[in-house]
Structure 1
Amino acid sequence: MSSSGTPNRTEIAIVGGGLAGGLIALALRQHRPEMHVTLIEAGETLGGNHRWSWFDSDVSGDAARLLEPFRTTDWHGYTVRFPAYRRKLSSRYNSLASQDFDAGLRRALSQETIWTKREVTSLSSGGVTFADGSELSARTVIDCRGAVPSAHLQGGWQVFMGRHLRTREAHGMEQPVIMDASVEQLAPEGDGGAYRFVYVLPLGANDLFVEDTYYADRPAFDRSALSGRIDRYLDEHGLQGDIIGGETGILPVVTGGNFAAYQAETRIEGVAMAGARGGFVHPLTSYTLPFAVETALAIAQDAQLPGEQLSALLEARARRHWKRTGYYRMLGRMLMGAARPGERYRVFERFYRLNEGLIERFYAGRSRFADKARILTGKPPVAIGRAIGALMTKGGPLVAEKEKIG
C-alpha cells in the first residue's frame, strides 16, 4: 500500500476507461475473477461522453453475453433515407449510452478496481506513473487511451455532433433512422466538402438522439454551423423540445498507410495496446464495438501471459485485423477520393439497395468474397476514371490537429 492508503501493486493495469478498456476489465472480471485488475481513467466517469450502436449480427455468443450487464436500447428494424428512395430494413439494432456503460461497469466491478480522475503521465512494461508522482506497478499494462494521429496512416475524417432532445409532445417514431442522406450535402466551396447524413434514435416516447455526421476532408467544423443544421433538421420534421445532453467527435477514416510503421511509432516496449490506439477499428465506418468485445475476450483468455508476451500477441492480432480490413480501406479511397464531396451520398445510396445480410456483414467487418464482388459490380456510383485515380492514392496523412468543434 502507498502512504495514501491506495494499492501500489496490481496484476493488470488498464489505462483508459473508454469502451475498449472498460470491456477488457469486465471480461477479466467474468472470466478471471481471481486476478487483481485496475482500470484507470483520467476523467470522472467511464466511457466519456459517447454513444455506441451495433447490429445483433455484429456480436454473438460470448460477445453478446459480455454486453448483458449494460442497459441498452434496441429496435426491431431501422430506416435509411436518400434523395432517390427510402428503405426499411428488419435487422435488430442496439445502442448504448456512456452513462449506462459507466453504471454497468460500476455494478459489475469492485470499487477497488476503478480508479477515476487519475491522470497518467507515462507507461512502461512494469507499471504506470501518475501526474501526482505516484506509481502503480503491474505485471501487465494495457494501453487503451484512444487513437493517436500519425503520418503513417492516410485518409479523411468523420466529424459529428449529437444532441439528446426531450420533445414537448410524443414524437411518434418507433424505429431509428440510421442514415438520412436526403439532407443538404456540402460542396467544397462550403465547409471543405463532406458527405453528410443525419442519424436519429428514438430513445423513448419523448426522447430522441439526433446526430449530424460528415465524411469530411478536414478534421473540424464550426460548432455554430453544425448546431444550426441540426436546428433546421428538427424544425423541418416538427421536432421541438429541450436539449438535455449531447456529444461531439472527430474520428479518422483510414484509407491507407504503413501499419507496421504506425505500430513502431506508437509502441511502448512491453505494453499491450488495444482499442483504437491498437488499430482495432472498422476503417471506413469507424465502428469499434464489435472489435472491442472480441479483443476483450481474447485478452481474458490469455490474461496469464506476461506483459511482453501479451503485447506481442495483440500486435500480431492487430496486424491480422489490418490485413483483413484492407477491402474497406479501398472502399474508403473510392468514397473520399473518387466521389465529389457533394455527391458522396450516391455511394451509400447504391450500397443500401443491396441484400440486407450483405449490409450487416459489411458493418461487422466480415464481408464474404461474394459480398465484396457484389458491392463493386454493376453501374458504379462514381466515374470510372476518378475511381481508378482514387485507388492509386491513399489520402492525406492523418496528422491534422484535432481541433475542438467550437
Structure 2
Amino acid sequence: MTIVIAGAGIGGLTTALGLYEAGIDDVRVLESVPELRPLGVGLNILPNAVRELAELELLDELLESAVPTGALEYRNRHGQLIWREPRGTAAGYRWPQLSVHRGRLQAVLARAVRRRLGPGAVVTDARVERFADRADGRVDVHVRHPEAKGRSVTTADALIGADGIRSAVRAQLYPDEGPPPWNGLVVWRGTTLAPPFLDGRTMIIAGDDRRRAVVYPMSEPEGGAGGPVLMNWAVARAADPDAVFEAADWNRPVPPDSFLHHFADLAFAWLDIPALVRSAQESYVYPMVDRDPLPRWTHGAVTLLGDAAHAMYPMGSNGATQSIVDARVLARELALADTPAAALSAYEAERLPALTRVQASARRRGPEVVIDLAHERAPEGFADPAEVFGTGELESVSAEFARIGGFDPETVNTRPSLAAASAIGGRR
C-alpha cells in the first residue's frame, strides 16, 4: 500500500510514524519548502496526544527539549488569580502535558520518520497542487517542485491532505469555500529568553474581554537552576478598523513596538509581560482565523487531517494535539480496513463529529471564557474569586471542555490504545 501525505507538519509526520508502526512503510511525506527549518513558536501538547507520542517511543527525546507543564492559571487584567488547575501528571494523567517549540517538535518527528522509513520518506521542494481519481480506485497526485522548476505525478492508494489551513487538497474538494474566515482578532506571538516566573512550570492566560496574553516556558533553565528559559508568549486584541490581512501566515514578522502599547498595563509583580515582549528574539502577527466545519473530510481515496480538516482558534491547546490523535486513528484504520477508502471513511466517522464539537467550543473561547466572565462581573478586580463565581462554576467550565475534547483524565488513562496492533487484538 502506497500512502502520500501532503505536508510535513506535526500531523503529517505523526501520520507517517503511525503508518510505520502499523506495518505500512511505503509512505512519502511531501513538503513544499526546500528545507525543513525550526520555524514557529510554542505549542502545548495535551496528555491525550503525548500518550500517542509516548507509544511511538518519542517521549524521552521530546523531554530533552520540552517542559512538562505543571499548572494552568487564568488571571484577570490586574493579574489576580481567577482559577488554577493542575496539568499533566499533576492532574492525575499517566502522561505529561508538554510545552515545546513547534520547530523542535517537528525536528524530533522528522528525524524519527527518516530513521524508520528511510531518508527519502520526507520529500522537500514538493508542493501538492492537485489530485486526480483513477478508475482503479487509486489517486494520481500532481506535484510542483518550485526550486527545481519542475513537476511530477505520484500514484498512491491514498492521499492524506495534512497541508494546513490553506490546504490545496481541501481547496480541490471544496473549491467554492474561499479564504479562512477571520473573527476580527489579531494575535502577536513570539519567543523570549527570560528568567522563569512563578514555579517555572506554569502556563498563564491573563486579560479581560478585549485583550488576552498567554505565556509559558518551553525549556529548562540554561546553565542550571535560576538561568533563563525559552518563553513562549502570545497577545491578542480586536484589530483596528483599517487592518487588512491578505493571508493567514504565522511567519509575518513585526517589531514589538508596533503593538506593545495595547498591552502596556499587563505588567504584574510576578511577570512583566510588556518587558518580556520587548525583549523578544522574534515576533510575528497573525489574524485569528479558523475553518468552518465540513460535512465530509473523505472523498474516495482522499482525506483531510489536522488543520486542513478542522483548523480552529488557539483556545485550549487543541490544534497540534488533535492533529496527533487524528494521525494515530487514521494509521490504525489503514492497517485494519479491507480497502484504503473504507479506512478513510472509518477514520472520518470517528474523528469528524468530535472535532466539529471542539471547533464550536473554540469559537466560544473554550475554557478562556472564565476571563470574560470575570471582567463582566468584576471589571475592577476582586479579593477572592468566590466573590465572582458560584461554587463549582469554574470547575465545571474546565471539565466540560476536557470532556468535549476527549482529554479528561479518566478517558485518556483508561481508553484502549490507538495503536493498530492493540486494535487488531480487540476486534477479533
Question: TM-score, normalised to structure 2's length?
Answer: 0.63
Residue 116 of structure 1 deviates from its aligned partner by 1.9
1:129-166 per-position Cα deviation (integer Å, ceiling 9, x unaligned): 22221122211110111235947997836532212112
Contact 2:354 2:405 in 1 (8 A): no
1:290 maps to what in 2?
321
Query: Aligned runs of 1:59-208 on 2, under 5 Å?
Result: 59=49, 61-62=51-52, 64-66=54-56, 68=59, 69-70=61-62, 71-83=65-77, 85-86=80-81, 87-92=83-88, 93-110=97-114, 111-125=119-133, 126-131=139-144, 132-148=150-166, 150=177, 156=183, 159-167=186-194, 170-173=195-198, 174-181=200-207, 195-203=210-218, 204=221, 205-207=227-229, 208=231
Contact 1:196 1:214 in 2 (8 A): yes
Distance in 2 between residues matched to 1:322 and 1:351, nearest whole Å = 30
Where 1:298 maps in the other structure, the secondary structure is helix
Residue 312 of structure 1 deviates from its aligned partner by 2.7
Query: Aligned runs of 1:21-60 on 2, under 5 Å?
Result: 21-32=12-23, 34-43=24-33, 44-45=35-36, 48-56=39-47, 58-59=48-49
Residue 14 of structure 1 deviates from its aligned partner by 0.4
Structure 2 vs 1, CA of residues 228 and 23 (structure 1 numbering), >3 Å: closer, same or farther?
farther
2:361 maps to what in 1?
328
Distance in 1 between residues matched to 2:232 and 2:180, nearest whole Å = 32
Which of residues 309, 330, 344 is equivalent to 1:299? 330
Which amino acid letter does the alignment assign opposite residue 104 of structure 1?
Answer: V
Structure 2 vs 1, CA of residues 272 and 253 (structure 1 numbering), >3 Å: closer, same or farther?
closer
Which of residues 288, 294, 310 is equivalent to 1:259? 294
Distance in 1 between residues matched to 2:196 and 2:311, nearest whole Å = 37
Contact 2:213 2:235 in 1 (8 A): yes
Which amino acid letter does the alignment assign opposite residue 398 of structure 2?
Answer: I
Aligned length: 334
1:19 maps to what in 2?
10
1:282-306 per-position Cα deviation (integer Å, ceiling 9, x unaligned): 7965722332222111111122454
Query: Aligned runs of 1:288-367 on 2, under 5 Å?
Result: 288-304=319-335, 305=337, 306-321=339-354, 324-325=357-358, 328=361, 331=364, 354-356=393-395, 359=398, 362-363=401-402, 365-366=404-405
Contact 1:19 1:47 in 2 (8 A): no
Contact 2:157 2:301 in 1 (8 A): no
Where 1:147 maps in the other structure, the secondary structure is coil
Question: TM-score, normalised to structure 1's length?
Answer: 0.66
Distance in 2 between residues matched to 1:330 and 1:202, nearest whole Å = 26
Structure 2 vs 1, CA of residues 268 and 315 (structure 1 numbering), >3 Å: closer, same or farther?
same
Moved more, 40-49 or 238-247: 238-247
Distance in 1 between residues matched to 2:320 and 2:123, nearest whole Å = 23
Which amino acid letter does the alignment assign opposite residue 213 of structure 1?
Answer: A
- Aligned-residue Cα RMSD (Å) equals 4.5
Which amino acid letter does the alignment assign opposite residue 11 of structure 1?
Answer: T
1:7-59 per-position Cα deviation (integer Å, ceiling 9, x unaligned): xxx81110011221121112123332x52111111123278524221443x44
Distance in 2 between residues matched to 1:345 and 1:47, nearest whole Å = 42
Distance in 1 between residues matched to 2:19 and 2:393, nearest whole Å = 39
Which amino acid letter does the alignment assign opposite residue 91 of structure 1?
Answer: R
Moved more, 108-117 or 211-220: 211-220
Which amino acid letter does the alignment assign opposite residue 135 of structure 1?
Answer: V
Distance in 1 between residues matched to 2:363 and 2:284, nearest whole Å = 29
1:399 maps to what in 2?
none
Contact 2:49 2:322 in 1 (8 A): no
1:171-210 per-position Cα deviation (integer Å, ceiling 9, x unaligned): 544243431115xx6xxxxxxxxx3211111333323222
Distance in 2 between residues matched to 1:65 and 1:356, nearest whole Å = 30
Where 1:133 maps in the other structure, the secondary structure is strand
Where 1:145 maps in the other structure, the secondary structure is coil
Which amino acid letter does the alignment assign opposite residue 362 of structure 1?
Answer: F
Structure 2 vs 1, CA of residues 63 and 282 (structure 1 numbering), >3 Å: closer, same or farther?
farther
Distance in 1 between residues matched to 2:53 and 2:350, nearest whole Å = 17
Contact 1:280 1:321 in 2 (8 A): no
Where 2:157 maps in the other structure, the secondary structure is strand
Where 2:28 maps in the other structure, the secondary structure is strand
